[in-house]
Amino acid sequence: MSLKKLIWKELYSTLRNPQVLVGVIIVPVMFFIVGNIASVGIEHAAREAVTMKILFVDNDATNLTQQLVSALRQVNPNIVVQSGLGIEDIKSLLEDYKVIVVIPQGFTQQVLSLSPSKPPLINVYVSLDTLTQAMTGGRMQAADVMGKMITEALRTIVLSMHNISPELLERIQPRINTTVTIGTLSLKSYEASSLANMFFSTTFVAIMAAALVLQYGALSMAQEKEDKTFETLLSQPVPRLYIGLSKMTGVVVLALITLALFAASWYYYINKIITTSAAVSGEESPEAYLSFLSFLKNIVGLSGILALLANLFIVMIGAALLGIILGGFAADTRSAGMLIGPVWILIIMSVIAVEMIGIPASPSGQLVVAATLFLGPLVSLNSIILNTSMVTMSTIILNLLETIALAYVLSRVLNSEIMIIGTGLMRRLRTRQVSV
């Protein structure tokens, strides 16, 4: 047989493998969908940064600040102006205005002094409903855009009022003091950025751990059937339920080991982000250099950490049960891989979609997201940070009920012939592969 025929034979055999075809088709489709999801999230953040209604509090009330307001309104007509507001008034208005810019008393004097050691101070308050990339990016970007607009407008106004050199004009660089509120928390900008990174990485690691449990469970059951050891096991005087429980326990233990390795590297990653962000921000307070564990405990508290771990454990049990069920439908490890692949892709796309587009603000919408089981830890952590204990408990109960339902399904599958021979479709695919 010639080399050309051997190459064509190999290509033909490879392309007839359903597992290969699934990968060839699904991976490009996944990137297409993920790209569109990311595009929607970025466009939403950029659009919100430009069109968001912003409250401008002029507590200095001078000719310069009035001109500044007029200049800003020409660029962004959504700016609403008030004056004489205290800190409590400002916090109460964060429900209506997600970004509030406060010009303090003495601002004009600081601007006209042109002192490089004492730049004019502007206080910016940003309110976040969730910590997803879409929400954080849009609101923080709006605050940054407003700071740049104020700087450019101030330089133009001062130049029209006083004939000063470009070198002195460059000294007009207001210092933006940003305070971010989310739920009952009040954070500095670097703390909010660290929390957003922690939120994404924590949920991603938790969800990937659950997805690994799913994979381990499916492959464990499929490997038993492929090696023909499952029939021997069934011939022993052991209840089938015990077989399922032992497999689930083994899968969860293996997943916990994997999770521990993931968590160690994740801890290093997050701790570096927090300490580096604090150092770059120039904060002098000891709180700026807290370790990750101290930071996490200060944000969500010990009860929040325990609630998150409880939800993660329930989700991992549910993922193990689902994996064993999928492995029961498969005839061998190849067909099990075909079943797991699309589920993995759906999980990844769901995480990216929620991060880029955002978690629904309503409790019912959050529970719909949590009902996917794998996104339960994400909803739990979000509700813990927002201090909405009802959503946290509802998510844990919902995922627990789903896990109980999966345990019931597994008990039925274990007592059926599907557990031994697999489904008809999986058997036909296996026969087709063997014939090739």
Look at the chain and report how many structural domains it folds into.
Answer: 2
Q: What CATH number is associated with residue 119? A: 3.40.1710.10
Q: How many Cα neighbours within 13 Å face the side chain of 101?
A: 31
**Domain final residue pick, 129, 152, 182:** 182
Cα(192)–Cα(188) distance, rounded to whole angstroms? 6
Joined together, the tokens standing for residue 109 give 């004097």
Indicate if 195 and 343 belong to the same structural domain.
yes
Indicate if 96 and 235 belong to the same structural domain.
no
Show the domain range for 164. Answer: 45-182
DSSP, residue by residue, 364-386: HHHHHHHTTSTTHHHHHHHHHHH
Indicate if 377 and 255 belong to the same structural domain.
yes
Cα(334)–Cα(222) distance, rounded to whole angstroms? 8
pLDDT, residue 282, reads 53
Cα(326)–Cα(374) distance, rounded to whole angstroms? 16
Mean pLDDT of 151-172: 81
Indicate if 385 and 239 belong to the same structural domain.
yes
pLDDT, residue 333, reads 74
User: What is the radius of gyration, based on Cα positions, of the chain?
Assistant: 28
Could you tell me which of 97, 184, 165, 98 has the C-alpha nearest to residue 138? Answer: 98
Indicate if 175 and 196 belong to the same structural domain.
no
Evaluate whether residue 277 is within a structural domain: yes
Q: What is the pLDDT of residues 343-360, one digit of tens each?
A: 877 787 787 777 777 788
pLDDT bracket for residue 289 (50, 70, 90)? very low
In the chain, % of residues over pLDDT 90: 6
Cα(31)–Cα(433) distance, rounded to whole angstroms? 28
Indicate if 51 and 176 belong to the same structural domain.
yes
* CA terminus-to-terminus distance, the chain: 18
Indicate if 208 and 280 belong to the same structural domain.
yes
pLDDT bracket for residue 285 (50, 70, 90)? very low
Could you tell me which of 143, 151, 129 has the C-alpha nearest to residue 177? Answer: 143
Indicate if 370 and 398 belong to the same structural domain.
yes
Cα(330)–Cα(323) distance, rounded to whole angstroms? 11
Q: Is the per-residue pLDDT at 286 higher than 50?
A: no
Tell me how many degrees the CA angle 262-264-265 measures, rounded to the nearest 5. 70
pLDDT bracket for residue 25 (50, 70, 90)? low
**Domain final residue pick, 182, 207, 228:** 182
Contact 41, 134 (CB under 8 A): yes
pLDDT, residue 293, reads 60
- The torsion region of residue 76 among left (phi > 0), alpha (psi -120 to 50) and beta comes to beta
Q: Is the per-residue pLDDT at 84 higher than 80?
A: yes
**Domain final residue pick, 182, 207, 237:** 182
pLDDT bracket for residue 290 (50, 70, 90)? very low
Contact 220, 300 (CB under 8 A): no
User: Length of the chain, please?
Assistant: 436
SS3 61: coil
Evaluate whether residue 18 is within a structural domain: no
Evaluate whether residue 17 is within a structural domain: no
Indicate if 175 and 203 belong to the same structural domain.
no
